[in-house]
Amino acid sequence: MYTGRDMTTLSMTPKNKWKTEELSYFHHAFQQIMPYLNAEGQTLHREITEEIMRRGGLTKGAESGLE
């Protein structure tokens, strides 16, 4: 179960300051609801994905965001 910061807090935090677990969790969550996201949500998901790629990707265990 995810026990990190909520999106309200994270939305005011630069993506490069997010923990890997936070990126992983919200990446997974946004993937699940992608067809329903508005433009702002899609942009946020893209920024999360870009930060994950900038860090070199996720390890297999972190992909679920449920570590």
Question: Domain of 53?
Answer: 7-62
The pLDDT, as a whole number, for residue 63 is: 53
How many domains does the structure of the chain reveal? 1
Is 29 domain-assigned? yes
Is 56 domain-assigned? yes
For 17-26, what is each residue's pLDDT tens digit?
999 999 999 9
Please provide the DSSP assignment of 2-55 as one string.
--S--HHHHTTS-GGGS-HHHHHHHHHHHHHHGGG--HHHHHHHHHHHHHHHHT
Is 67 domain-assigned? no
Is 12 domain-assigned? yes
Is 2 domain-assigned? no
In this prediction, residues 7-11 reach a mean pLDDT of 97
For 14-61, what is each residue's pLDDT tens digit?
999 999 999 999 999 999 999 999 999 999 999 999 999 999 999 876
In this prediction, residues 7-20 reach a mean pLDDT of 97
Q: What's CA 17's distance to the chain center, in Å?
A: 12
Is 25 domain-assigned? yes
Is 33 domain-assigned? yes
The pLDDT, as a whole number, for residue 61 is: 63
